[in-house]
Chains A and B, each alone.
Chain A
Amino acid sequence: MRARVIAVALAPLVACNEPDRQVSQPPSKLPSVRVVDLIPASLSGETWQDAEPFLALYDSNPKLMAASAFTPNPGGSTSATAPIFVTNDGGDSWTLRNTLPSEGLTADITHAVGGNPPVLYAGILKVPGVPLNELKTNDFLSPATMTLQASRADIDQPFVRTAQVASADHVYVGLNDFDAPDGRTATVDVSLDGGATYTSRRIETRGTAGQNGPSIRPALAQDRTVYVAYFGWRSNAGSDVASDVVVVRDDHGATGATSFKDLVDPSDHLPGRLVATHVTIPWSNAPTLGQERIGSTLSLAVNPRHSDTVYLAWADRVGNGDIYTVHVRRSGDRGATWTGDLRTVTNATDASLAVAANGTVGLLYQQLTGAADASRWVTQLEQSRDGFATHQDVVLATVPATTPAFQFLPYLGDYNGLLSRGPVFLGIFSANNTPDSTNFPQGVVYQRRVEFATHRLLDGSGAGGGAAVAVSIDPFFFSVPVLP
């Protein structure tokens, strides 16, 4: 399919498949887009690599949001807690509160809100030892440490989604459970009582190469349909994994004795629709895509009001010279059949999908463009109402990819966050924080002290803003109006 782009913004020299996207144009500005650096003024001296951001928000209170990244407790690595960011003014300003029971920072974190503000659930890998901690607070604005509800070892990438059913919060934590039997490690921890108790639901029904991939992604619709996407790792040769991309479904919120069995594949009649088979996942825990590692990009989003429609994005190596390619597909019949690729983006990662209430799908990704010292990370949100036949593109950031040098991996994140609420997409990404307006075509608001004229970050230590601070990776919140 040849995409007709109704772009309001094009990334410069983006390396996408569609020929008509090979145009070099400066990104332009879309009205009503907000981009906000989350680092507060009082942490203006911060130089950490605040990677892998995530966002949680309430439908019922647009003022309240929680966000996270691999941001450390400013008190240092000996601190008993790690921070989250909170806002109570709709994202215009953010504060940092040390409420996570993890020494200094977490090794993974996602979170989602409860039905009643300001309840928040989080799944973290705690430092040290990286056990899973499933956490809850009745007030995420409180400085009190979040309450531990469940914990166990040998878990990877907890990914939290929630729904309110009657008066109870249902919590779904997709995770890779290395203690699952027979190497079928794709698991969803399900709680139907606000996190008081969890039941681990195994969702892989086929043989694996000893385990599944780390990303297990639930997506919830308002009618209690729960979809989950995962990588069915089938074999590996060196660092390449041959994987199926699988989607399971439960039509009743995973409340039954058996769950996630409602979608079977016609090829073997087993639960779990094989959307793509034997794709090549380049598993690399070293800088591979620029300074970023790759191997677990996966996202799933369902139309919240019409659960028949579900979108899936993943990244693999196509083999045509690409390093890592994002694919987007759609099902309009509850996952029974899927389109081919609606959209492919070469050398991109951190794909996140969301579907707005009016059916518009949003695709957030970060693409490496250019080469060597000229390479850039371009963070882009695409929206489409016609399966990406046409799409509106908004460049949120285009920043140097070679600076700063990575402190650890992931450089930007194994995932980022995109959600929708009413007429806006809300999301979060991490990027080089140089205060240069050309890096943020939609504009940007810093809370920390900066000097745009000289492109300098300042530590806020005195008159004139203080001393210069080294460039680092910061988390950026954004909101973009949904295509009507």
Chain B
Amino acid sequence: MHTRSAMLLAVALALPGAGAVAQMSRATLGTVTQVGAVAAPEVPASPRTVVVRIDNVLEKPAAVALAPGDSVTVETVQPGSLKPGIQATFYTTGWIFGRGVAVREVGHEPGRSPVVVTDQQAAVARARLDVNDADLKAHIQRAAMVVAGRVEQVRPAELTAAPTRPKRITEHDPQWQEAIIQVQDGIKGAHAGEQVVVRFPGSRDVAWVGAPRFSAGQEGTFLLHKDSTTGSPNAKIAGREVPAYTALHKVDVLSKQDAMRVRTLIKKP
């Protein structure tokens, strides 16, 4: 099973098996069985491209229009690895989006006939969970501190500007804010009862569109990284200087219930 994070489009592609060749060839002649061909004119054909008809979409980005019966172009990893009539589950990334969808193969698994959709969906769901867990575990390992807690206060950050770097006026200014988190469960690098300062962008600029925001009263599980972004590594709590942290990736802010999952992943070899 391929469990790479690049697995963005997982589609079960049912190229017709022996019993269905005649019927399917009629329905989709020239597309279903083509190797070295493309499903839409905007995609360059090559020995690595094949046209496949989708039997079932197991996972896809919401923006992408794909439905059973659609034909897509797949650029295969290895030329000649797929023959007409092969049934497979493909793991792919997006390539070209026009009148049709063209994707790049990350890997594939030979399928069975008839396709047992529920089995495939369950398999992809398991794979996705594995991917997410692996991704989260990597984030946990990189984090300096992991805590479950509650945001007590949000305030504008008071950054000590480096003398050689005067404050600049730009639409991309992150407008740093600070969240003071009361630690209820110190999962990594912290203890219950501590307070930590987490900086986050208050700006609504496009440069920061994916960064998590904090609000007073918010509860969660937080993966915190020492602040190497603002240029001012320390903050103050009640006049006391403390290290400042950031949580800029969407995985850095999880639900409070995720604390258990995080603990499990930390213990997992």
Contact = CB atoms under 8 A, between A and B. Distances in A.
Interface of A: 40-48, 51-52, 70, 73-79, 88, 93-98, 104-105, 107-108, 125, 127-128, 130, 143, 154, 156, 176, 178, 183, 210-211, 214, 236, 241, 283, 285-286, 293, 295-296, 406-410, 414, 447-449, 459-462, 466
B62 to A, nearest CB: 5
A88 to B, nearest CB: 8
A45 B204 CA distance: 24
Contact of B66 (A96, A214, A410, A461): A461
Interface in B47-67: 61-67
A132 B49 CA distance: 35
A51 B63 contact: no
B237 interface: no
Nearest to B248: A128
A461 B98 contact: no
A96 B210 contact: no
Contacts of B206: 51-52, 70, 105, 107, 408-410
A77 B249 CA distance: 10
Interface residues of B, number: 37
Contacts of B154: none
Contact of B64 (A43, A283, A285, A286): A43
Given A42-B97, A461-B67, A75 B169 contact: no
B136 to A, nearest CB: 13
A74 B94 contact: yes
Contacts of B207: 107, 125, 127, 130
A410 B172 CA distance: 10
B8 interface: yes
Contacts of A285: 171, 173, 175, 203-205
Contacts of A414: 171
Which are the 3 A-B pairs with shortest beta-carbon distances? A460-B65, A95-B98, A107-B207
A93 B171 contact: no
Given A45-B63, A76-B61, 18 more contacts: A40-B97, A41-B100, A43-B97, A47-B62, A73-B94, A74-B97, A75-B61, A75-B93, A77-B210, A88-B42, A95-B99, A127-B207, A210-B169, A214-B170, A285-B203, A414-B171, A459-B65, A461-B66
B239 interface: no
Given A42-B99, A96-B98, A408-B206, A466 B61 contact: no
A236 B168 CA distance: 13
A51 B94 CA distance: 22
A101 B204 CA distance: 23
Nearest to A103: B210
A328 to B, nearest CB: 23
B250 interface: yes
Contact of A48 (B5, B63, B170): B63
A336 to B, nearest CB: 31
A461 to B, nearest CB: 5
Contacts of A236: 169
Contacts of B97: 40, 42-43, 74, 95-97
Nearest to A283: B169
Contact of A295 (B5, B98, B168, B171): B171
Interface string B64-96: 111100000000000000000000000001111
Contacts of A410: 171, 206
B209 interface: yes
A101 to B, nearest CB: 15
Contacts of B170: 156, 176, 178, 214
Contacts of A183: 166
Given A285-B203, A408-B205, A44 B65 contact: yes
Contacts of A107: 172, 205-207
B100 A42 contact: yes
A74 B99 contact: no
23 contacts: A41-B100, A42-B64, A43-B64, A43-B97, A45-B62, A73-B94, A74-B94, A77-B210, A95-B98, A105-B209, A107-B207, A108-B172, A178-B168, A178-B170, A407-B209, A408-B209, A409-B171, A409-B205, A410-B206, A460-B67, A462-B67, A466-B65, A466-B67
